[in-house]
Structure 1
Amino acid sequence: MASAITKYFSQALGKQTVQEALKAGGWKIVLDGNLAETLIEHGPGGQLIGVDSNGNKYYEKKDAQVGRNRWVVYAGGQDWINQNSSTVPPEWHGWLHFISDENPANADIPKPMYALAAEAHPTMTPGRYMPKGSWENPHRRSWKKVEAWTPPPAKGTH
């Protein structure tokens, strides 16, 4: 049992030995149970289906239980803190959740004219929204009691 786990652990990270896998950042997998399950349990038998514009990799394992046979490894790979599911584009979301069986990497899926590209949500980044009065806002004391929400400027418009 232990030899199978070490074999899958090293294979999941593309290394020959467990020591090489640990040196390549594999120790971070121990801290994140979800990434560990994805790379160790699913990873070695999964077939790479495609990569999206954000660098996320999509896998499928045809002989696994239905509902647990498609998964994504987010861009950044071993960086377990910065994995962000908001970077999954709509066409890949549909494939992951069995809404569509078409492979988005090979299919020409029409996009509505109002669709925006999938981007990571700015939560916990310097570009996030900080309301007046927030501790992180440098002007936290020069504010009114109420602030009306104003939408951000639209991208790609004049």
Structure 2
Amino acid sequence: MASAITKYFSQALGKQTVQEALKAGGWKIVLDGNLAETLIEHGPGGQLIGVDSNGNKYYEKKDAQVGRNRWVVYAGGQDWINQNSSTVPPEWHGWLHFISDENPANADIPKPMYALAAESHPTMTPGRYMPKGSWENPHRRSWKKVEAWTPPPAKGTH
């Protein structure tokens, strides 16, 4: 069992050995309980179902409890802080949450003509949306926030 865990741990972090994975920051997964659970509890015995365009790996363990038998290991497994669920494309989201049992890696799923490629949400990155007046927006407000009202002149007075 221990060798299966170390093998899966190394594969998920994209390293050849556990020592390389630990040197690359893999020890930090102990701090992140969700990633540690995925790598230790689910990982060994899970079958790789497919990889999406963002590099996320999808696994299934048929003999596990329903609802806990499908999971994703996000691309860049050693970058545990920036794990982002918004990188999961819609077709894989449907598979993960049992909306569809079709494997998106093998199925020819038609995409609407208006659909865009799934991208990571830019929150907490330099490319995020910052409205006018935001403290971190480089284009500061240069106009007055409040304009004083002056009443119109009364008719009949000079």
TM-score (structure 2 length as normaliser): 0.79
Greater relative CO, 1 or 2 (CA 8 Å, sep 6+):
2
Q: Provide, for residues 69-108 of structure 1, a one-character-per-residue CA deviation record: whole Å limited to 9, x for no partner.
A: 0000111111111111111111100100001111000010
Given that 1:57 and 1:73 are in contact with CA atoms closer than 8 Å, whether structure 2 keeps it comes out as yes
Structure 1 residues 12 and 114, CA gap change in structure 2 (3 angstroms): closer
Q: What SS does the aligned partner of 1:21 have?
A: helix
Larger Rg: 2
Given that 1:12 and 1:40 are in contact with CA atoms closer than 8 Å, whether structure 2 keeps it comes out as no
Given that 1:51 and 1:57 are in contact with CA atoms closer than 8 Å, whether structure 2 keeps it comes out as yes
Q: What SS does the aligned partner of 2:91 have?
A: helix
Structure 1 residues 151 and 97, CA gap change in structure 2 (3 angstroms): farther
Percent of residue pairs bearing the same amino acid type:
99
**Structure 1, gaps ≥5 residues long:** none
Q: Which residue of 1 aligns with 2:48?
A: 48
Q: CA deviation at 1:133?
A: 1.7
**Structure 2, gaps ≥5 residues long:** none
TM-score (structure 1 length as normaliser): 0.79
Q: What SS does the aligned partner of 1:38 have?
A: helix
Q: Distance in 2 between matches of 1:110 and 1:86?
A: 21
Structure 1 residues 19 and 127, CA gap change in structure 2 (3 angstroms): closer
Q: CA deviation at 1:14?
A: 7.4
Q: CA deviation at 1:23?
A: 2.4
Structure 1 residues 54 and 155, CA gap change in structure 2 (3 angstroms): farther
Q: Distance in 1 between matches of 2:48 and 2:153?
A: 38
Given that 2:59 and 2:70 are in contact with CA atoms closer than 8 Å, whether structure 1 keeps it comes out as yes
Given that 2:13 and 2:76 are in contact with CA atoms closer than 8 Å, whether structure 1 keeps it comes out as no
Given that 1:11 and 1:44 are in contact with CA atoms closer than 8 Å, whether structure 2 keeps it comes out as no
Structure 1 residues 32 and 142, CA gap change in structure 2 (3 angstroms): same
CA RMSD of aligned residues (A): 11.1
Given that 2:24 and 2:78 are in contact with CA atoms closer than 8 Å, whether structure 1 keeps it comes out as no
Q: CA deviation at 1:116?
A: 1.1
Q: Provide, for residues 20-52 of structure 1, a one-character-per-residue CA deviation record: whole Å limited to 9, x for no partner.
A: 542243211112111101111111111100000
Given that 1:133 and 1:143 are in contact with CA atoms closer than 8 Å, whether structure 2 keeps it comes out as no
Given that 1:71 and 1:96 are in contact with CA atoms closer than 8 Å, whether structure 2 keeps it comes out as yes
Structure 1 residues 10 and 86, CA gap change in structure 2 (3 angstroms): closer
Structure 1 residues 36 and 138, CA gap change in structure 2 (3 angstroms): same
Q: Provide, for residues 102-129 of structure 1, a one-character-per-residue CA deviation record: whole Å limited to 9, x for no partner.
A: 1000010001111111100111111111
Structure 1 residues 44 and 131, CA gap change in structure 2 (3 angstroms): same
